[in-house]
């Protein structure tokens, strides 16, 4: 069984990569989890997973220079496929190849988390959203962040991608979130998965090159991510069917 989630947002810096790694570790307690850095232009999973020095990354696979297996690393109880950070690597990568990468990995795992680019600005940026079964939307509780995320949801649903839920991150005002979360539920298809506070611990984990759940497993933020994982009802799909769907996914010609 497998389900592929795109961890997405409208804006950058909402905490998609942080969330991908934290949620991934929480889900890995029950499931076989594969994290793919599908933000191939602004990759940073490698900095969150202690993989900054690795030789082979998704860029090499997307450029046809390496096999998927060569870019796969076992870290923190998950299978992690990091992406390189060079501009030349991004230019050489053929985004369409992501379909085969996801299809290949789908055979071996229960959950695929695609750390996704922030904007709808290019074909490579929308690909993870088009490929995924459902979105996990990471938002900050501000009107611009919510507005941008709703646009991502609208785009995703036109391609048949559902919404698993919304995760509020970097929350500084508990009273405001109590007001905003119920309103957001009216506009987003999924439920509110969790609310993660703005916290120095989260920043420190990134600086240490570790996912939050490895760096500070007992922190309130880690607990919030475990709660998000528990709220997520993973839908088992036949791996072969999912792989076929990825391989044959139609990539939009334009936005
Ligand atoms: N809850 C939080 N509290 C404090 N800092 C956070 C939190 N979530 C993310 N950050 C920090 O914000 C920055 C952007 O997070 P990141 O996960 O890389 O966002 P994105 O992938 O959406 O661009 C990082 O430096 C990260 O450590
Ligand atoms: Mg990121």
pLDDT tens digits, 156-195:
999 899 999 999 999 998 777 888 888 888 888 888 999 9
Lowest mean pLDDT among 9-23, 36-50, 165-179: 165-179
Report yes or no: 241 and 1 within 8 Å, Cβ to Cβ. no
Number of Cβ atoms within 10 Å of the Cβ of 68: 18
Using CA atoms, how far residue 245 sits from 82, 92, 106, 117, 128, in Å, is 23, 25, 11, 21, 13
Number of Cβ atoms within 10 Å of the Cβ of 92: 15
Given a cut of 80, whether residue 252 has pLDDT beyond it is no
Report yes or no: 116 and 39 within 8 Å, Cβ to Cβ. yes
* Residue of minimum CA distance from atom 15 in ligand 1: 15
Residue 14 CA, closest ligand 1 atom number: 22
| Distance from residue 181's CA to the centre of ligand 2 (Å) | 23
* Residue of minimum CA distance from atom 26 in ligand 1: 203
Given a cut of 90, whether residue 26 has pLDDT beyond it is yes
The bound ligand whose nearest atom lies closest to the alpha carbon of 201 is 1
Neighbours of ion ligand 2 (CB under 5 A): 16-17, 44
| Distance from residue 191's CA to the centre of ligand 1 (Å) | 22
Which residues does a 6 A CB cutoff place in the pocket of ligand 1?
A: 9, 12-18, 44, 169-170, 196, 198-199, 202-203, 206, 221
Residue 205 CA, closest ligand 1 atom number: 27
Mean pLDDT, residues 96-111: 94
Pocket test for ligand 1, best of 202, 205, 208, 228 (most atoms within 8 A of CB): 202
If you search the block for the tokens 């609310």, which residue do you land on? 195
- Quick one: tokens of 112? 């695929």
pLDDT tens digits, 60-97:
999 999 999 999 999 999 999 999 999 999 999 998 99
pLDDT of 255: 58
Q: pLDDT band at residue 47, thresholds of 50, 70 and 90? A: very high
* Residue of minimum CA distance from atom 23 in ligand 1: 13
| Distance from residue 20's CA to the centre of ligand 1 (Å) | 11
* Residue of minimum CA distance from atom 2 in ligand 1: 198
| Distance from residue 38's CA to the centre of ligand 1 (Å) | 17
At the topology level, CATH places domain 3-247 in Rossmann fold (3.40.50)
| Distance from residue 24's CA to the centre of ligand 2 (Å) | 14
Q: Which of 135, 155, 139 is nearest to 147 (CA)?
A: 139
């Amino acid at each position: 069984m497998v389900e592929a989630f795109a961890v997405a947002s409208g804006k950058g810096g909402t905490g998609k990569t942080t969330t991908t790694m934290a949620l991934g570790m929480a889900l890995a307690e029950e499931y076989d989890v594969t994290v793919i850095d599908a933000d191939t232009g602004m990759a940073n999973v490698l900095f969150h997973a202690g993989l900054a020095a690795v030789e082979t990354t998704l860029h090499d696979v997307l450029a046809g220079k390496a096999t998927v297996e060569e870019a796969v690393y076992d870290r923190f109880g998950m299978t992690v496929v990091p992406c390189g950070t060079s501009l030349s690597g991004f230019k050489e990568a053929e985004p369409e190849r992501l379909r085969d990468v996801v299809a290949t990995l789908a055979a071996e795992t229960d959950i695929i988390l695609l750390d996704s680019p922030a904007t709808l600005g290019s074909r490579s940026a929308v690909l993870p959203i088009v490929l995924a079964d459902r979105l996990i939307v990471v938002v900050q509780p501000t009107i611009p962040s919510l507005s941008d995320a709703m646009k991502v949801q609208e785009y995703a649903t036109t391609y048949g991608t559902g919404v698993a839920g919304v995760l509020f991150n970097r929350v500084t005002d508990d009273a405001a979130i109590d007001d905003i979360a119920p309103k957001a539920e009216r506009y987003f298809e999924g439920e509110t998965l969790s609310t993660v506070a703005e916290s120095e611990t989260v920043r420190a984990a990134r600086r240490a090159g570790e996912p939050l759940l490895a760096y500070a497993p007992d922190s309130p933020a880690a607990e919030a991510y475990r709660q998000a994982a528990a709220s997520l009802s993973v839908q088992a799909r036949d791996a072969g069917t999912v792989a076929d769907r990825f391989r044959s996914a139609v990539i939009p010609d334009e936005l």
